Amino acid sequence: MFALIEYAVLAALWGTTLLLVPSALRAKRRLLFWFMLAFAVTISLIADGPYAFVDGLLGGVDTTYFIFHATAIICVALFDSLIQTAVSKAGLTSIRKRFALWGATGLILLQAGLFFTNDWDINNIQFVGPGDWSQLVYSFTTWIALIVLAVSTIVACLTDFKRQSDTSLKTALVMISAGCALVSLYVVIQMGVAINRATGGTTVNATVDFLSVACPLLAPVLLSVGLGLRLLIGASRNLSDAGRSRRLLWKVTPLWERLLADRPELSIEAPMSRVALYFRGSHAVHLHRRYVEVRDCLLLHPDQALSAREAKLIQRIEEHIRQASDASRWTTNDSRTDEHQDA
């Protein structure tokens, strides 16, 4: 039963990763794509089947053990960058990028030094034999990094939770926090088991053994669903706002053309048909620009006649712009992952 759930989780992870390929090829959401790819590889190598398969391809010398920990460190760096990009008002700063890059590189180099200079007897990915203190230090570099990341993410989610009013967004943040809590629990359990084995222990409590299997199964599900829901809500809102901007732009264009027909010096907009403008990008920018130019024209020439319908349209545009401004101030900006795609 566990094996079936395990492979179902892996299929969901790889499916989600493949769905991000078109966006990554279009230079969008690359940071999210690279995280999901590293995350899928890492979680896959936890399972005995994929681990044995990959290790067999590499010659059966347990290099897969090193690859697992290296990809886990990369996951930590990418996920931290992703979270900071999403919840921080400043986005992903250059200092944060360098910290993630050099931190991950340093840990992987330390792991490489420990792995390739020691002759460890590794039967599976969770094994630490009696007296294998170098291997214990090796494992701890990954585990401590995972705990720090999990705690950092939980804090970020709690901070974002207080700013949100949407129940769906709050649910997504709770699921992400729960996934991180399970990751922390799993890491603490593995650290305890490793210390027990390094000091000569040979038995593991049944509850500990159950949690060691359950946590890595449930944590990816909660994280994937939570992140997916967060992304879906953001994309849905963006599409809704884009559709409303296009409709308002279509309606305000005749008014804009009429008011500025004899006053072209008041406009910086290039002449363009309504159809071309509707399907062109940057519709929100064009809407805001034409709204401002209409208001300027009315202020400079108050004798211009407006119908009740046109006056109501201007109010609707003003409300739409204000709501978009409030949303960008108080909610997280999902498009930041595009701006920092090369992190």
> Amino acid identity, residue 145?
A
Q: What is the pLDDT of residue 211?
A: 87
What tokens does 8 get?
A: 């179902």
Block means of pLDDT (10 residues each) for the chain, 343 residues, are: 74 84 80 86 84 83 84 86 69 76 88 83 55 75 82 83 82 89 89 78 78 86 84 79 85 85 76 72 81 86 84 89 67 44 42
Give the torsion sign (CA, 157, 190, 13, 38).
positive
Q: What is the pLDDT of residue 181?
A: 92
Q: Which of 126, 175, 130, 128 is nearest to 154 (CA)?
A: 175
Q: What is the pLDDT of residue 178?
A: 92
Report the residue count for the chain. 343
> Amino acid identity, residue 72?
A
CA distance 51 to 263: 71
CA distance 72 to 137: 15
Q: What is the pLDDT of residue 64?
A: 85
CA distance 37 to 16: 9
For residues 267 and 273, is the Cβ–Cβ distance under 8 A?
A: no
Q: What is the pLDDT of residue 88?
A: 62
Report field, pTM of the whole predicted structure over 0.85: no
Q: What is the pLDDT of residue 22?
A: 84
DSSP secondary structure letter of residue 53: H
Q: What is the pLDDT of residue 2?
A: 62
Alpha helices in 117-263 (DSSP H): 133-163, 167-198, 206-260
Give the torsion sign (CA, 243, 246, 250, 255).
positive
Q: What is the dihedral of CA 12, 54, 77, 237, to 10 degrees?
A: -20
